[in-house]
Amino acid sequence: MEEIQSQSDHYRSSSSSASSPASRVPAFNFFYLRKPGSLGQPISFEDSPEWEDTDADVRVEEGGGDSINAATTSVSPSLSKLNSGSLPSPHLPEGAAVARKIAGASVAWKDLTVTIEGKRKYSDNVVKGSNGYALPGTMTVIMGPAKSGKSTLLRAIAGRLPPAAKMYGEIFVNGARMHMPYGSYGFVDLETTLIGSLTVREYLYYSAVLQLPRFFSQKNSVVEEAIHAMSLGDFANKLIGGHCFMKGLPSGERRRVAIARELVMRPHILFIDEPLYHLDSVSALLMMVTLKKLTSTGCTLIFTLNQSSTEVFGLFDRICLLSNGNTLFFGETLACLQHFSNAGFPCPIMQSPSDHFLRAINTDFDRIIAMCKNWQDDNGDFSAVNMDTAVAICTLEATYKSSADAAAVQTMILRLTEKEGPLLKSKGKASNATRIAVLTWRSLLIMSREFKYYWLRLILYMLLTLCIGTIFSGLGHSLSSVVTRVAAIFVFVSFTSLLSIAGVPVLMKEIKIYASEESNQHSGALAFLFGQLLSSIPFLFLISISSSLVFYFLIGLRDEFSLLMYFVLNFFMCLLVNEGLMLAVVSLWKNIFQSVLTLVTIHVVLMLAAGYFRIRSKLPGPVWTHPLSDIAFHTYSIQGLLENEYLGVNFAIGQVRSISGFQALHSAYDISPRSNAKWENVLVLFLMAVGYRILVFVLLHFYARKNVSLHRLFRGKHNSTA
């Protein structure tokens, strides 16, 4: 600490000559030379107005239920303008403000420490002893450089830490230990998968039906409220992802759609991870103004941010500044400027406050300065930088711990937790039957609009079947055509199954949508599987009947309606099994390249073991016969189709002798002579389809779900540590 203090004193003395505006260094310098301010001369946006520290008062209303309300004292003109919304701001569409008031909730965290093994190079502590609070109707931002612990702290407060994380400390909601039931809060992740083939209004309506209980009859009204709250009125009837030559929504509007999805439940608390992610300055300002209007309804808003402009910074109520997991400041935004000034790092007039904060606490700038040492001009601009970032962080942390701001936070947390307020109540949720119906109908609507993923696949199936049919056409029904017809059926089943891999991007998107919705309990593994199955059946049946008709008549198979219907049913079950296999692989890898590579490998191996290149009875064991030939769905599909075609058929040899279809196939493919054997093969295909769906359910429930339903496990750990 003595070394830090000496360097700090040296920095103060070297920067005193730059106190006047005329002598300030150019904006491109990597550190700012300015005389540190004092409590009597704080730094604000105009760099001059006088202001007083603000304080939050907790009032317990009598008569009704206990509630915690935030009241701020009169502050400087700058802060008053910011809090009142009188500063100039972008124009919002009419009705952007939500008229309906929301009963907000106070959130407080005390001595919060989060450790994740292997997360940091030198320490497992990602968040270290953080203290803070958020009040109803306010915006609390968690700010810091990359890998400072912002998202981890946000997830800890929201109860969404990964299983490997361990949390120590206490979290209170309305004065009670953490209790946020379903529907009482919303969480918007950094990456939210939207459905591009739906309009904004359709997407929000389906989200509302998935979330709200069946008896809730105002689903349309809450959707319109969410649209107006996020200023999406001009985009309500536009497709999110565009269509044909129409462009989809810009990134800013997409981000607001993701937030609006959580607003349909009218949450008391809203958590957002990086709301300005990938947004330009105009979109970022519009986003923050919209969120500021949202807090006027009473909603408690907590979000993370990496950096912001001066205008955006002015909209914050409180800021929690982190660096390497350490809290360097928590309090009012303007008080943060005063804190940096007291520590010896005042913000220049023309500098954005957030840029200044991150410049002082981001260790990456040390490397930039080291690279630019050789670029010093004759005046030696860089020679005035006498304190590195590590020392600045230590100085800011030490200054904050001994400041009145830290004591005020402790006092406020004590006030918020000394008496329990009303517990947040669950608003109910949609039943599984409702969710299955909604997911099925939504998927059917998506299929009807996704040309390149669904209708193009149908065209490709038709073209492939036409090619196979024309190559093997005109075979006749003689004994010499048996081997060639076996080859035709094998090629048809194998190649159409291989072509199904083109649907991997569709299934990948469905898995991502499921993960995004399941993370907030909008959906479940069982509802997703049933919805996906029911919606895929019409599409697969359309493929099976169209492809079967083309192949059946071009090849010249037996002209009987019952045999044709069995052919269609057999091929449909084959496609259904293949769809389940692809869904299982995609659920396992969650990556298109790895899924396609795995599926191609599986299909090639199963084709080799299907009994065409070498009949099953002569395959070498134990690997090829058992289990590969047993699990190859190609085997049962081809067997059933051949039994359907040749059982009960006789081929004449000369004028006296004849052989059965079973005998004719004996050397070409293994089939059963039993009359009902073809139905046994269909039954095996059905069981395989069910088995793959069960495997997908297990994967989603025990693997994918651990990344999106972590709040339950977290709450158990929190209660045990508390």
Whether residue 555 sits in one domain with residue 467: yes
Whether residue 444 sits in one domain with residue 314: no
d(CA 231, CA 236): 10
d(CA 143, CA 320): 6
Whether residue 407 sits in one domain with residue 488: no
Share in percent of the chain as helix, strand, coil (round to 5): 55, 10, 35
The string of pLDDT tens digits covering residues 73-89 is 333 333 333 343 433 33
Arithmetic mean of pLDDT, 171-200: 91
Mean pLDDT of the chain: 82
Residue the block writes with tokens 């937030």: 259
Q: What is the pLDDT of residue 454?
A: 87
The residue among 361, 395, 427 that closes a domain is 427
Q: How many domains does the chain have?
A: 2
Residue 319 near residue 357 (C-beta atoms within 8 A): no
Whether residue 423 sits in one domain with residue 324: yes
The residue among 366, 396, 427 that closes a domain is 427
Whether residue 506 sits in one domain with residue 476: yes
d(CA 104, CA 135): 8
Whether residue 516 sits in one domain with residue 483: yes
Arithmetic mean of pLDDT, 668-689: 94
Q: How many CB atoms lie within 10 A of CB 93?
A: 13
Choose the most confident range, by mean pLDDT, from 58-62, 648-652, 702-706: 648-652
d(CA 561, CA 49): 90
Strand partners for 168: 113
Comparing 706 with 361, which gets the higher pLDDT? 361
Whether residue 485 sits in one domain with residue 347: no
Q: What is the pLDDT of residue 419?
A: 87
Residue 124: pLDDT band with limits 50, 70, 90 = confident
Q: What is the pLDDT of residue 356?
A: 86
Write the DSSP symbol of residue 453: I
Comparing 713 with 647, which gets the higher pLDDT? 647
> Out of 76-90, 512-526, 602-616, which region has the weakest mean confidence (pLDDT)?
76-90
Whether 463 has a pLDDT exceeding 60, the answer reads: yes
Arithmetic mean of pLDDT, 93-97: 41
Task: Give the pair of three-digit tokens for residue 229.
Answer: 């709250």
Q: Is residue 542 part of a domain?
A: yes
Arithmetic mean of pLDDT, 446-454: 87
Q: Which domain holds residue 703?
A: 432-707
Whether residue 563 sits in one domain with residue 622: yes
Whether 210 has a pLDDT exceeding 90, the answer reads: yes
Q: In the chain, what percentage of residues exceed pLDDT 70?
A: 79
Q: In the chain, what percentage of residues exceed pLDDT 90?
A: 57
Q: Is residue 557 part of a domain?
A: yes
Q: Is residue 297 part of a domain?
A: no
Half-sphere exposure at residue 118, Cβ-oriented, CA atoms within 13 angstroms: 1
Q: What is the pLDDT of residue 10?
A: 44
Whether 3 has a pLDDT exceeding 80, the answer reads: no
Arithmetic mean of pLDDT, 454-474: 94
- Nearest CA to 197 out of 440, 500, 451, 437 is that of 451
Residue 307: pLDDT band with limits 50, 70, 90 = confident
Whether 39 has a pLDDT exceeding 70, the answer reads: no
Whether residue 665 sits in one domain with residue 545: yes
Whether residue 452 sits in one domain with residue 306: no
Whether residue 487 sits in one domain with residue 402: no
Whether 439 has a pLDDT exceeding 90, the answer reads: yes
Q: Is residue 540 part of a domain?
A: yes
Length of the chain: 722
Residue 304 near residue 154 (C-beta atoms within 8 A): yes
d(CA 718, CA 712): 10
Q: What is the CATH number of the domain that holds 169?
A: 3.40.50.300
Q: What is the pLDDT of residue 26?
A: 34
Whether 29 has a pLDDT exceeding 90, the answer reads: no
Whether residue 579 sits in one domain with residue 525: yes
Q: Is residue 63 part of a domain?
A: no
Whether 268 has a pLDDT exceeding 80, the answer reads: yes
Residue 586: pLDDT band with limits 50, 70, 90 = very high
Q: Is residue 275 part of a domain?
A: no
Comparing 678 with 13, which gets the higher pLDDT? 678
> Out of 49-53, 106-110, 178-182, 601-605, which region has the weakest mean confidence (pLDDT)?
49-53
CA angle 342, 346, 348 (to 5 degrees): 165
Q: Is residue 243 part of a domain?
A: no
Arithmetic mean of pLDDT, 328-354: 89
Q: How many CB atoms lie within 10 A of CB 427?
A: 16
Comparing 650 with 637, which gets the higher pLDDT? 637
> Out of 65-74, 86-95, 639-648, 675-684, which region has the weakest mean confidence (pLDDT)?
65-74
Taking the complete model, does pTM exceed 0.85, yes or no?
no
Strand pairing class (300-305; 139-143): parallel
Arithmetic mean of pLDDT, 338-359: 87
What is the full DSSP assignment across 644-658? HHHTT-EEEETTTEE
